Structure 1
């Protein structure tokens, strides 16, 4: 049958796979290519067809035009059914026109979306599955939502398992998925694990400084944040610096997630000697406990004193923070009282409070500040520390202490926190 495209633009043939991409049929292992899924009921022969057409779908002011059938569109989508019921045709039009405004990336896959409504089949591919999912969510086509989410989950799982058959999404896209509210908990769990496994790639990208406060806090609480502790410390302070974070409670809630016993004792010496955390009492206690650990970790009688999350090496996966558990703990309205919650963890020498993912909340307010002017300044004491004798190796049963490949960055992080302590000291009471 004749296809209707008076706009002059040619949309991709949705019945065919993407160009130069081999077919992967239902049931086969997902590769780097596309995959076709199909449901039972089909009106494929009527897709963009003149026969029985009773409505014109106008996407983005004539970018794409499709001949549609109200009964089929309304049957598959209640959103479209409502829009079609409210549609009125003018005397100059032989058929009513439904004008649709879509994002550019969504308009380019609208033909595949519409083809699924008629046929129940769609070609899924990594490059456009996300805008296709957005269309399915917008018009509440639930079978397509399920197909897209299953495909996205499979890609993310392959990224975690380091499968060579799937290239996966970029770090920017994974962050957007995690911080959005369009995806299932399963997909957000997988995104969380991918970001933990690829934490080094994330902090090296421009996307790191654009991450929300909640995402940064969640990652620092994870057992599998894949980086040395000094790298985690410096990346956290770099994020605070770039976002000009000046709220004492928000700064402290990030710093308590650093596992200070895993830092090199040279760094701990500087932190304690210079009183970096004097206005962050919970963090100061954690640093003091870390110093005690390095002093007495070889004493058999002291082993029971050094247990908990603070003394646990980041080696195993942890599930994504539960969005239904303690959702009020990290909300902007209650962060001012977070010190009371942290006292419990400080006394047990471990910060065990679960991370919280709040899908509908806004990130904490970013406050302008001048506390970063001396960030790049290195103290003379730290130069002398670099000449100190290295710490002896830890016994096998204790957390290992990683080397310090970025001494300058650790010093910068310490200076940032010290400046922040001075500026926020008046609010410590």
Structure 2
């Protein structure tokens, strides 16, 4: 069953009956009926045949309800394993606090989620195999990822292997990379965690030098001596740097950085890759299965591969993208945007072949702006399309901006031009 977002209630919470959820997804309840609501019996001593002790608190339970909603309780309460009416459960402090809510869900199939209780409820749901509650918790977290929780929830998703949450967090952090880097939040990550973030092809940044600066900031956040483990960390993190996307001037600056002086010899292969690429280009096609392939794929560089402008200010706006990050043919691409053609981007002049004909190629065009959410201006990708530039019209259709007009007016419009044909 694929994880899907669910209706959010006031106060960043969700309350949804299990049967209603099935109706929304399948059009009819499973097995032809909704699960019964035993809420009146929750923690009620009447008809209770089992006592559950969690920490210093004892709850009254009913075997038939617990066994029918949790495979783990079913095993624990079977006559083979359980010879007493008392269950003693050991839970962490956070899970102890939300255990009444967890128990109530087993009886009522209702739950109110918020950022404080969603993780412990999710852990209890996973531990006792209450799959529908676990799914609701994941759905809630995926829908509520924001600047404040993205880092801790990213780490949570890695620890407990929650793929849907991992995908949402890594995308959110990547799109808002400058915020997480400048605010110092990335230094909270372990080496392996930061490496996963820096590997992302969805990172929105000014240039690849922002990745270098993130590594330097991470290094300086800890007062550690130069030791073998630190050397290993630096090599691992620099493995995520897309060296060919650094300019020769960038490489020169990196080699002179005092923070990296002890590691220059270790980083020579990266520098060599960059210099070779700028001298000779790709040369021959690199097979996608080659792990080094991603080094030649530009990220979403807002300065080097694009520009940001306000459509209410500029009548005509010109910018250009570097040859090695614009097209396979190594042409410097010059663009013109006109307010009277808000959905078009003109290529001026057109790259031509040796025969004087326009060189056709595909370009990936990314349009983005920002939206206010909880006081934070988060990056929103508006359009991400592939356009063929050919003899029949050297211009790009940038798409419409329905729903983003106010955001563009406040934060401006960013257009990034990237080569197509490379996997991210």
User: What is the TM-score when the length of structure 1 is the normalising length?
Assistant: 0.54
Pick from 209, 213, 228 the counterpart of residue 234 of structure 1: 213
Give 1:246's match in structure 2, choosing from 218, 224, 228: 228
Alpha-carbon offset, residue 122 of structure 1: 1.5
Following superposition, the deviation at residue 307 of structure 1 comes to 9.3
Q: Which residue of 2 aligns with 1:128?
A: 117
For 2:182 and 2:73, the matched residues in 1 are separated by: 43
Runs of 4+ aligned residues of structure 1 deviating over 6 Å after TM superposition are: 273-276, 306-309
Q: Is 1:138 matched with 2:127?
A: yes
Which of residues 51, 54, 79 is equivalent to 1:56? 51
1:286 corresponds to which of 273, 284, 287: 273
Contact kept in structure 1, 2:243 and 2:271, CA below 8 Å: no
State whether residues 248 and 274 of structure 2, in contact with CA within 8 Å, keep that contact through their aligned partners in structure 1: no
**Contact between 2:151 and 2:185, CA under 8 Å: does it hold in 1?**
yes
Note if 1:84 corresponds to 2:77: yes
Distance 2:209 2:71 in 1: 53
Higher relative contact order (CA 8 A, sep 6+): 1
**Inter-partner Cα distance in structure 2 for 1:262 and 1:32:** 44
SS at match of 1:122: coil
Aligned to 2:38: 43
1:297-318 Cα deviation digits (max 9, x unpaired): xxxxx77769989xxxxxxxxx
Structure 1, unpaired ranges of 5+: 1-25, 90-95, 160-167, 294-301, 310-325, 327-340, 353-392, 401-429
After TM superposition, list the pairs within 5 Å mapping 1:182-221 onto structure 2. 182-183=161-162, 185-204=163-182, 208-221=186-199
Q: 2:105 aligns with which of 99, 106, 116?
A: 116
SS in 1 for 2:204: coil
Quote how far apart the aligned CAs of 1:59 are: 1.5
Q: Which residue of 2 aligns with 1:268?
A: 251
Name 1:411's counterpart in structure 2. Answer: none
Partner of 1:374: none
Q: Which has the higher strand share?
A: 2
RMSD of aligned alpha carbons? 3.8
From 210, 222, 227, the counterpart of 2:200: 222
Residues 81-129 of structure 1 deviation map (CA, whole Å, 9 limit, x = unaligned) = 333344444xxxxxx3322222222222111110111112212223311
Taking structure 2 as the reference length, the TM-score comes to 0.55
Aligned residues: 274
Q: 1:255 aligns with which of 216, 238, 261?
A: 238
